[in-house]
Amino acid sequence: MILRDKPTLFELAFAIRGSIVPIIAPQLMALMLFAAAMVWLHDAMPGFPDIDATAFTVFGVALSLFLGFRNNAAYDRWWEARKLWGGLLADLRNFARETQLFLDDREQQQRIIRLSLAFLHLHRINLRKVELDERTREMVGDLAKSPNPACAALDEISAIVGKARADGTLDGFGSRTLAERIASIAAQQAGCERIAVTPLPYVYSLLIYRTTFLYCLLLPLALVAATGWLTPFFVGIVGYVFLGLAEVTEDLSHPFGNTPNALPLDAICRTAEISLAPHLGETPPEPLRAQDYYLS
């Protein structure tokens, strides 16, 4: 996630980190070169077709409405993912408190809290489809060998709670409270997985990009008579708006990735470690800081 204050005039012109320009620059250059070729043909060929700009106005309004719809759908996915991770963080904090409230065995308390942290990291790894780093590998231990490591962590927590209930060290109300908390964690885990494995329909992306390129490729026919050699410049501006918005929606529709606008899952996991460290009698680690305005 990019963390920056309101951009200054200089940053508006030259800021690259968090900008969509590096991604769409090749397409923009291609469109501007094509527009320049259309201007040359217009000057070199008598009878070169000119199209009334009114049709492009209607076309542009329709395209912008469709892009706005897709942007709303993508942002809804991004925001829902953020709410689910906020709920996971709140559940883990409450789970640690409830564990210490209802369980007397210090060893069981610490084991459950460590497993809950392991679950959060394993859930992050699963959503991002990345390899375990050395620090996380030490934290999760043999859980990483399970078919679904995050679920294995919750299963082990449930087994500890069940054993405490069977041994009589955990009463019925306490076991029910902890079971409900585990169920809430699992429900939010499933919500994240639903977002991760269910992308926006491919037909949306196909239609958006086809229509956007078609609009930008035909636009010189409407501008060349009025703007001449400024046509490539105006096509570049229009292409930046439409292609940029299309790429932004593509980025936001994958909230768990490693792109600059994805959710800061590493930072959220570190926040959970800081919150649960006192329950483990440990010194809280330092929070993660943004590097070059990027918080992972």
d(CA 159, CA 250): 41
What's the structural domain count of the chain?
1
Structure tokens at 15: 């800021």
Q: pLDDT by residue (tens digit) across 62-92?
A: 777 878 888 888 999 999 999 999 999 999 9
Nearest to 272, CA basis, from 138, 77, 139, 101: 139
Considering the domain boundaries, does residue 292 fall inside one? Answer: no
Considering the domain boundaries, does residue 186 fall inside one? Answer: yes
Structure tokens at 155: 């299963």
For the chain, how long is the longest CA-to-CA vector?
94
Considering the domain boundaries, does residue 289 fall inside one? Answer: no
List the chain residues with pLDDT less than 70.
4-15, 17-18, 294
Considering the domain boundaries, does residue 293 fall inside one? Answer: no
The pLDDT assigned to 97 comes to 95
Nearest to 268, CA basis, from 91, 106, 134: 91
226 C-beta neighbours (distance < 10 Å), count: 11
Considering the domain boundaries, does residue 115 fall inside one? Answer: yes
Considering the domain boundaries, does residue 294 fall inside one? Answer: no
What residues make up the domain containing 43?
9-280
Structure tokens at 10: 């200089």
The pLDDT assigned to 11 comes to 65
The pLDDT assigned to 176 comes to 93
d(CA 107, CA 163): 13
Answer whether 150's CB lies under 8 Å from 119's CB. yes
Contacts 24+ apart (CB under 8 A), 144-151: 149/122, 149/125, 150/119, 150/122, 150/123, 150/126, 150/189, 151/186, 151/189
- Residue 294, φ and ψ in degrees, nearest 5: -110, 125
Nearest to 74, CA basis, from 233, 247, 230, 222: 247
Strands (E), 42-195: none
Cα-to-chain-centroid distance, residue 98: 31
What does 180-203 look like in DSSP terms, one character per residue?
Answer: HHHHHHHHHHHHHHHHHH-PSPHH
Considering the domain boundaries, does residue 176 fall inside one? Answer: yes
Considering the domain boundaries, does residue 197 fall inside one? Answer: yes
The pLDDT assigned to 191 comes to 96
